[in-house]
Amino acid sequence: MTHSHPEVARFARSPFSSDPPALTRRAVAALRQGELDRRLADGEEDDDGWLSVRAWQLTRPRERARVAGALEDLLHVAQRSDRGVDPVTAAVRDDVRESRAELLRAVSRLRDGRPVQPRGMASLRDLLSDGSGPLYWPNTRDELRERLQRAVDELG
26 neighbors 8 (Cβ within 8 angstroms)? no
pTM: 0.81
| 129 and 78 belong to one structural domain | yes
Q: Is the pLDDT of residue 115 over 90?
A: yes
Q: Is the pLDDT of residue 2 over 80?
A: no
Give 87 or 33, the one with higher predicted confidence: 33
pLDDT of residue 126: 92
Give 140 or 58, the one with higher predicted confidence: 58
Range of the domain at 66: 61-155
| 49 and 75 belong to one structural domain | no
| 54 and 67 belong to one structural domain | no
Percentage, residues of the chain above pLDDT 90: 56
| 69 and 134 belong to one structural domain | yes
Q: Which of 69, 79, 67, 84 is nearest to 125 (CA)?
A: 67
Q: What is the mean pLDDT of the chain?
A: 84
